[in-house]
Amino acid sequence: MSIPVRFEVNGKRVAIEVEPRLTLADCLRHHLRLTGTHVGCEHGVCGACTVLVDGDAVRACLMLAVQADGAKVVTIEGLSHDAHLTPLQAAFRRHHALQCGFCTPGMITTAHALLSQEPHCDAARVREVLSGNLCRCTGYVAIVEAVLAARADYQKNNGPGA
C-alpha cells in the first residue's frame, strides 16, 4: 500500500508516495535527503528527531509521514542560513552548548519552538522543556545558558524567525 502525501517542508512543497509505516523522520532523511534531523532511539525517548509541525515541536519518529499531509514542517535545515548563524546557533556556539552534536538539531528545533511561543520563559521552564531531549556530552548547563541567552532576540519584533 502506497499513499500520496503532500506537505510543505522548509517552505517548499513536497508531493510523494509513501508506505503508511514510514515515519516522518525516515521520510525526511531517506526520501527528502534532509539528514539534519537525527534519529536516535526511534521510539520517542531521546528527542533528537524533533521537528516543527505547524509551529509545534513534535517527535518525527512518532508521527507517520502520511499524517503530515497538508502540514507545514520545519526541520533544522529550515532554521539555518548558509551565510550567518541564527541567534540560537550563535548562542549555542558562544556557550559551548554542544560537543558531539548528535542531539543538537533536536535541541535547536525544540528551543526554537519554545522561544517562539514563550519568549519570556525562565530557566526552570527551559529545563522542563529540554528534559525531553537527551544529551550525553554537555550536562545541559551550557545548553540552558545558550537558550536563555537567545531569549532577547525572540523578545524583539516577535522573534527572529529562523
Partner 1 sequence: MKSPAFDYARPTTLPEAVSLLTSCEGEAKLLAGGQSLVPLLAFRLAAPTLLVDLNSLSELRYIRIEDDGVRLGAMVRWRQIEDDARLARAHPLLVTALKHVAHYQIRNRGTIGGSLAHADPAAELPGIVVTCEAEIMAIGAAGQRRISAADFFLGPLTTALKPEEIIVELHLPPWPAQRRWGFEEFSRRRGDFALAAAALYYDVLPDGKACNSHVGVMGVGDRPQRLAQVEAMLNGRLIDGDTIAQAEHAAAAAVNPADDIHASAAYRRALVGTLVGRALKRAAT
Nearer to partner 1, 48 or 162 (CB): 48
Looking at residue 29, the DSSP 8-state letter turns out to be: I
* Closest by Cα among 131, 127, 117, 141 to 45: 131
Nearer to partner 1, 58 or 73 (CB): 58
**In the structure grid, which three cell numbers stand for residue 67, read together?**
499524517
Q: How far is the CB of 82 from partner 1 (least distance, A)?
A: 27
Element (H, E) at 123: helix 123-130
Nearer to partner 1, 41 or 85 (CB): 41
Q: Which residues are near partner 1 by CB under 8 A? A: 1, 3, 19-21, 23, 26, 42-44, 47, 50, 56-59, 61-64, 66-67, 110, 114, 128-129, 131-132
Do the Cβ atoms of 37 and 105 come closer than 8 Å? yes
What are the b/e assignments for 13-25, b being 16+ CB within 10 Å? ebeeebeeebbbb
Q: How far is the CB of 143 from partner 1 (least distance, A)?
A: 14
Looking at residue 64, the DSSP 8-state letter turns out to be: B
Q: How far is the CB of 128 from partner 1 (least distance, A)?
A: 6
Q: How far is the CB of 158 from partner 1 (least distance, A)?
A: 19
Nearer to partner 1, 4 or 11 (CB): 4
